[in-house]
Structure 1
Amino acid sequence: MTEYLIRFVVGGVVVSAFAMLGDVLRPKSFAGLFGAAPSVALATLGIAIYQHGVDYAVLQSHAMMAGALALAIYSVVVCQLLIRARLRALPATLLTLVVWLAVAVGLLKLAGGAT
């Protein structure tokens, strides 16, 4: 329970800091980039370092980077299916989940991580 409370407080503080940074930057579309995801990741890594040590946090950060790259590839493939193949959103996203999973697992294996 205490871990969740710490995540909530630290995540909220970091989300607020990133939101202020996003509000200062131009164009305003950057505000979304500095929303919840980076702050939650930083809070999670901080807790991982505190509870499990730096080596564990390194593994977690590698997994986060693999997931982010897989998400970028997923997004490109979904866009291509929507525009070029003229699929509807639901089938395009469901089909491309397989791509995301394959890329994420492949990157983790390549980096020497366990899945």
Structure 2
Amino acid sequence: MSEYVIRFLVGGAVVSAFAMLGDLLRPKSFAGLFGAAPSVALATLGMAIHQHGADYAAVQTGSMMAGAAALAVYSLFVCRLLVRARVRALPATLMSIVVWLAAAFGLWAVAGGQA
């Protein structure tokens, strides 16, 4: 089977499991939170371990955590622009891309620039 088929099957199974978990929890918005990102990350890490070994997957895990932190910084900045500065959504998100890039590359540099 090709890599994409395996990723699709594993990702779909994990999305379904997280969707069922999210359906059991309150509030129902957890279903969306647990849906996409964890399944893609788990499928990708599983394939990385299988193809390249645990050390490579550990580096990828660090990259995923840095990306998540950069996304959190970006999201907080967008919220500040939307709520406090009353900037419209499109300009706020476009301006915040610079913040996301700075956070992502800054964390990447601090982590040693490994990919």
**TM-score interval w.r.t. the shorter chain?**
over 0.9
State the TM-score, normalizing by the size of structure 1. Answer: 0.95
Measure the CA separation in 1 of the matches of 2:16 and 2:113.
Answer: 32
State the TM-score, normalizing by the size of structure 2. Answer: 0.95
Paired letter, 2:22? G
Paired letter, 2:35? G
Measure the CA separation in 1 of the matches of 2:44 and 2:57.
Answer: 9
Alignment of 1:12-51 (within 5 A): 12-51=12-51
Paired letter, 1:66? A
Task: Give the CA RMSD over aligned residues.
Answer: 1.2
Measure the CA separation in 1 of the matches of 2:17 and 2:113.
Answer: 32
Q: CA deviation at 1:32?
A: 1.5
Alignment of 1:1-115 (within 5 A): 2-114=2-114
Measure the CA separation in 1 of the matches of 2:47 and 2:26.
Answer: 32
Paired letter, 1:105? F
**Residues 63-103 of structure 1, C-alpha deviations (whole Å, 9 max, x = no match):** 11011011111011001111111111111101101101110
Measure the CA separation in 2 of the matches of 1:113 and 1:24.
Answer: 40
Paired letter, 1:39? S
Say if 1:74 and 1:100, in contact at 8 Å, map to a contact too.
Answer: yes
Deviates more, 1:58-67 or 1:24-33: 24-33
- In structure 1, the gaps of 5 or more residues are none
Identity of aligned residues (%): 74
**Residues 16-58 of structure 1, C-alpha deviations (whole Å, 9 max, x = no match):** 0110111111111211211111011000000001011111111
Measure the CA separation in 2 of the matches of 1:25 and 1:85.
Answer: 34
Measure the CA separation in 2 of the matches of 1:55 and 1:108.
Answer: 17
- In structure 2, the gaps of 5 or more residues are none
1:92 is paired with a residue whose SS is: helix
